Amino acid sequence: MPVVGVLGLGAMGLPMARRLLEHGPVAAFDLDPARVAAVAEAGATTARSCAEVATLADVVVVMVSDAAQLDVAVFGADGAATAMAKGDCLIIMSTVGPNTATAVADRLRSQDIAVLDAPVSGGTERAGRGELVVMAGGSDVVFQRCREILDCLGDTVVQVGKEVGDGQTVKLVNQLLCGVHIAAAAEALDYAERLGLDPVAVWDVVRHGAAGSFMFNDRGARMLDHRYEPVHSALSIFVKDMGLVIDEAQRAGVRLDLAENAAALFSEAARAGWGNVDDASVVEVLRNRPRE
């Protein structure tokens, strides 16, 4: 297997890099030296910049947090684009929205660099097990070329469209559900507490029935533990993602009542200081509200 480049080693990028290392060589970079040390310990070749990763790998996976970081990682002074060769391929796995993905692809086309738009869903644990859902947008040729890498990371790998941006658009639908489900888990557990129920007992019953969701299981457990270490997805990520969902809805003239509501709750939580920790902390906004 040729060297795969990985840019961004956060809550998702690091377990994904570890997973790729089980299948072949990886060259990786992150601005945070602690993360670089962690991936080196796992056996990756570490680079001093995104550009250096691009010199070592023909295919570069970007798993940074947002569009601003993507811009720096690809088009910055030490960005991947400065070192990528004609025929190389960039896989955008971050959630950055369809417009950003399309703009990156347009800009790299002049260098004959192919782009696959392939955001993922499933969270940290599943990333480490190679059990992500991958929503890929791009040509058949590029999708097939990246297929082995995607199959290493995901157990549900689907080419959802032929254009860069299609994966991001599907991811917006995914994030609408994820954001509303996290907010619903918070609302339900806070409601249980305020009705005088034991929220742990309630959670452990109702999650087995029609009320069950990935998020109620996953985030619900951490809401009940009151533990919000930032090893999982930071709350600020959902502020960003719900913003992308709503921007695209406004562009298309779609009214989104539940998503707007969940977005407002994440924003309120970020203003209250929970932005850099686990998004399960969104429940604290509700817990801190006075009774009406």
Binding site residues, its own copies, CB under 8 A: 120-123, 132-133, 135, 155-156, 158, 160-161, 166, 169-170, 172-178, 180-181, 183-185, 187-192, 194-195, 197, 201-202, 204-206, 208-216, 218, 245, 248-249, 252-259, 261-262, 264-265, 289, 291-292
H helix or E strand, kind and range, residue 132: strand 132-137
Report, in Å, the least distance between residue 168 CB and its own copies. Answer: 11
Report, in Å, the least distance between residue 92 CB and its own copies. Answer: 17
CB nearer to its own copies: pick between 46 and 95: 95
Q: How far is CA 75 from CA 81, 106, 110, 235, in A?
A: 6, 13, 13, 27
Q: Is 206 exposed, middle or buried (0-12, 13-18, 19+ CB in 10 A)?
A: middle
CB nearer to its own copies: pick between 88 and 279: 279
Report, in Å, the least distance between residue 115 CB and its own copies. Answer: 20
Give residue for tokens 């691009």: 54
Would you put residue 272 in left (φ > 0), alpha (ψ -120 to 50) or beta? alpha
CB nearer to its own copies: pick between 60 and 116: 116
H helix or E strand, kind and range, residue 26: strand 26-29
Count of beta carbons in the 10 Å neighbourhood of residue 28: 31
User: What is the set of active-site residues?
Assistant: 171
Give the whole-angstrom CA distance, residue 272 versus residue 281: 10
Give the whole-angstrom CA distance, residue 141 versus residue 9: 27
Give the whole-angstrom CA distance, residue 96 versus residue 24: 27
CB nearer to its own copies: pick between 41 and 155: 155
Take residue 22 and report the two structure tokens written for it.
Answer: 């089980």
Report, in Å, the least distance between residue 47 CB and its own copies. Answer: 30
Report, in Å, the least distance between residue 134 CB and its own copies. Answer: 9
Whether the Cβ atoms of residue 127 and residue 12 lie closer than 8 Å to each other: yes
CB nearer to its own copies: pick between 39 and 188: 188
> Could you tell me which residues are beta bridge partners of residue 61?
6, 91
